[in-house]
A and B are shown apart, each in its own frame.
Chain A
Amino acid sequence: MARDTSEAAPGSSVTRRVRRTVLIGAAVAAVVVATAPFQLDIYTKNILIRAFFLAALAMTVDVLWGYTGILTFGQSAFFGIGAYACALVATHYGFGPFWFAGSFLLALLAAVAVAWLIGWLAFYHGASPLYASIVTLALPIVLVQLIFAGGRFTGSSSGISAFPTYYWAFETWFWIAGGYLIAVTALGYLLVSSDFGRLLVAIRENEERCAYLGIPVSRIKILLMMAAGAIGAGAGFGYAAFTNVVAPELGGFLLGTELLIFTALGGRGTLIGPVLGTIGIDVTASYLSGSLPFLWKLITGVAFVVVIVLLPQGLIPILGKGLRRLWPFPRAAARDAVVLRGFEPTTPHGETRSAPLRTADLLRHYGSLKVLDGIAIESRGSELLSIVGPNGAGKTTLMRCISDGGERSGGEVYVNGTEIGRGSPQSVVALGIGRSFQNTNLFETLTVGECLMLARWRIDGASLFSRRNEVALPTPALGILEATGLDKALGTETRNLSHGQKRGLELAMVLATEPSVLLLDEPTAGLTKAERTAIGSVLTSLARVHGLSILLIEHDLDFVRDISDRIVVLHQGALLMEGTVEEVIASDLVKAVYSGQAVETAS
């Protein structure tokens, strides 16, 4: 809910609070880790050290899956890469401080390289989320088979053991493992609580929409994968150096799925849940698997299914809720409202050398069905160009072909003089296109303020480890927020907005990206007369005052007549007519089309 804005003073109170939480959490954890070895027996220490390394790995699974929505089966592969880097170098090349550090570096580099390859394969614009899962599923399978194929060198199926390593005391290893876990978890927590963390959630909720806000989704996912891979490899390296045994299972598919089980049971998207879940489950498993080996696994399987079906949030959040009921401490809400600041955008007025938008011979066909057939349109700056035509005329397809280079079957699209090529939506956005959608598909669990911040990502960026508390918006975007009352609801999650507010936010977000060409697909659908009028006057001022070139799809011909400078009529994928409002309204051809008579297309 909207909070008192005075709380979000400069320097971002949210950032400060998150940092304080992390600091306190890490300090408490550090005290526990520092003193625990003196209370525990060797067996428990041994189990916990392994559990700490696995928990660090599970933490990366949660960032990828819980936050960003990438269902990965392959995070174990990075663990295996780290473990084998340690074992192989020590066995075959040499051992000593230099070799040890070198092999650690090698582990990280190898993991980053593999993660890049996987990311490049799995994340491209238009890839289905399932495909990423397939690639991450293939990765550990390939890795294990390569280890098998390595024969003597990799120890094949029996792995490598008794390679030289540091036989430090159990306490030392406990501190190393615990320290590593605390460090990477703190880092992960800062990341997911930052502006960048909100971006990850936005990608999970609506990847398509992110791309149309100019956010390079694929690149972000690849980078995230690389970071997660490096952390996983570091954990695997520590695990191998401590246990002095590596086996192909460390990089296998089964461990990959177990990580998902740990994450789901602990509570995906909570970061702490998966870490605690992994430690809890792994330790219990080690104690129980001695006496009840098969039964324990059966219980895990049942618990996993029950949690997925009935409690998708996992167990830790439920525990947390229970605790909170017993001891109601204030909730550390990291979701304060932001402060908006308006600025006057630089108008693209003077530079009228090339048309803001021009299409030449634009084609789109599905098989033999031609949806767009040789469309040539040109828009001017400071102009409101309406595209009308009956259902199925190809209006939305036209917008799609303009805003995504991968969509059209032929022809050219020039944005501010540059041909868009086969560019993804975010590259087209970078050229100056802003597109709003017919349906109001926003980011359900993000607040209005977060959505606006997201829309400014392309221009203002997002900090990796902190939260901003101020969003700078161009005045037209601010104007729309004020007109729809959204400036008073910055802390509201978008799913709780009214339809009119959603449309307003949608438009404000597009304007926040500071486009020079605005593509609007039925911006007034389902709005009241008053809202319509408000949007209409905003649009005309955008064109007249701010010099934008606006392309508008509308069914409401009265609305079109009131605000348009020029009208283009599409019919069955072809350009039927183009002209001023008066010309088009008076045209018999257009009347015939709308009344459903057969018309010879003018092409």
Chain B
Amino acid sequence: MANLALDMITTSAILFVVASGLMIILGVMKLINFAHGAFLTLGGYAAYLTTEAGLSPWLAPLLAGAVGFGVGIVVERVIVRPLYHRPLDAILATWGLGIIIGQLITIGFGREVQFAASPMTGTLDLGGIEYSAYRLTLTAVALAIGGALTALLYLTRFGLNARAVIMNETLARGLGIDSARVRLLTFGLGAGLACGAGALITPLLSVDPNMGLPWLVNSFMLVLVSGVSIPSLALASLILGSAQVAVSSYISPIIGGLTIVVLAAVLLRLYPKGLGRGT
């Protein structure tokens, strides 16, 4: 029972980490980055290369984040910016970008599964319960990312500008906020978070060119259910992640894989604006 509860909490934390990059981009830019899955994959390969090069696995998420930020900046300039007023097309173009990234990775590394070294192995003793140390660490990382993003949004100049753009972009621009720059940095940040998250989850999984896809769909659903707010993303991750763990352990892992998608579609039908609005 305690194990199940820990599974729920850590799964939710992982979902939060994975979805946060997508949410930041949706919030500020009002567009859905379907290359999110490919960025996760890119992060996975960054982690793989880091450990292959003999560097500490702890460095992997940071390096992956830096790579993601750089790639994100370029992508925003070249692909996303022209589509700012065609949000449904932006979904498609970023999906196409995902195909490009995936194929480049396939050409570079082949289709086979690779493994990245884990920064820590074994279990931690939590008052009689042995639990995966790495999953617990990830939970702490999720809290740290949530805290850092909140601080970024509420304590910095960039955050103030970003919030202004979230609320009313036209007005924000009228006040002299360079919204193009805010968007550029946001996309870089979101891509960086995605790559970092990809590097963080690789020790739990293997790395292959399509590893990001299931995560993309789940993050997409989570973000739409939560709306744009960090606490409500945490709440949505907790609800849907726990449901997924419960269904997987009590009914079937295959149906468990569907939980988030189906539950999100139903929740959105009942609350079209998501959990975060009106709070």
Contact = CB atoms under 8 A, between A and B. Distances in A.
Interface string B238-265: 0000000000000010110110011011
B55 interface: no
Contact of A142 (B106, B252, B262, B278): B262
Interface stretch (B12-20, B84-92, B173-181): B84-92
B147 interface: no
Interface in A285-313: 294-295, 297-298, 300-302, 304-305, 308-310, 312
B268 A305 contact: no
B100 interface: yes
B106 A305 contact: no
Interface residues of A, number: 37
Nearest to B80: A309
A260 interface: yes
B258 A309 contact: no
Among A129, A309, A312, the one with the most B-chain Cβ atoms within 10 Å of its Cβ is: A309
A302 B96 CA distance: 7
A421 B86 CA distance: 36
A305 B103 contact: no
Contacts of B89: 308, 312
A294 B107 contact: yes
B119 interface: no
Nearest to B82: A309
Interface of B (DSSP majority class): helix
A312 B272 CA distance: 29
Interface in B125-148: none
Contacts of B278: 367
Interface residues of B, number: 37
A261 interface: yes
Contacts of A162: none
A127 interface: yes
B64 interface: no
B265 A301 contact: no
B259 to A, nearest CB: 10
B96 A253 contact: no
Nearest to B35: A305
A138 B254 contact: no
Contacts of B96: 261, 301-302, 304-305, 308
B275 interface: no
Contacts of A138: 221, 261-262, 264-265
A135 interface: yes
B120 interface: no
Contacts of B79: 305, 309
Nearest to A305: B96
B265 A297 contact: no
B158 interface: no
A585 B102 CA distance: 71
A149 B93 contact: no
Interface in A97-122: 121
Among B32, B92, B103, the one with the most A-chain Cβ atoms within 10 Å of its Cβ is: B92
B254 A148 contact: yes
Contact of A305 (B91, B97, B254, B272): B97
B258 A142 contact: yes
A73 to B, nearest CB: 9
A309 B254 contact: no
Nearest to A308: B93
Interface in A302-361: 302, 304-305, 308-310, 312
A57 interface: no
Contact of A127 (B32, B88, B272): B272
A294 B97 CA distance: 15
Contacts of A127: 272
A170 B32 CA distance: 44
B265 to A, nearest CB: 5
B99 interface: yes
B88 A133 contact: yes
B258 A141 contact: yes
A71 B268 contact: no
Given A130-B224, A135-B265, A312-B89, A301 B103 contact: yes
Interface of B: 32, 79, 82-83, 86, 88-89, 91-93, 95-97, 99-100, 102-104, 106-107, 217, 220-221, 224, 252, 254-255, 257-258, 261-262, 264-265, 268-269, 272, 278
11 contacts: A126-B272, A130-B32, A130-B224, A137-B217, A137-B220, A138-B261, A149-B252, A301-B100, A308-B83, A309-B82, A312-B89
Given A130-B32, A310-B82, 5 more contacts: A134-B264, A142-B258, A149-B255, A260-B95, A298-B107
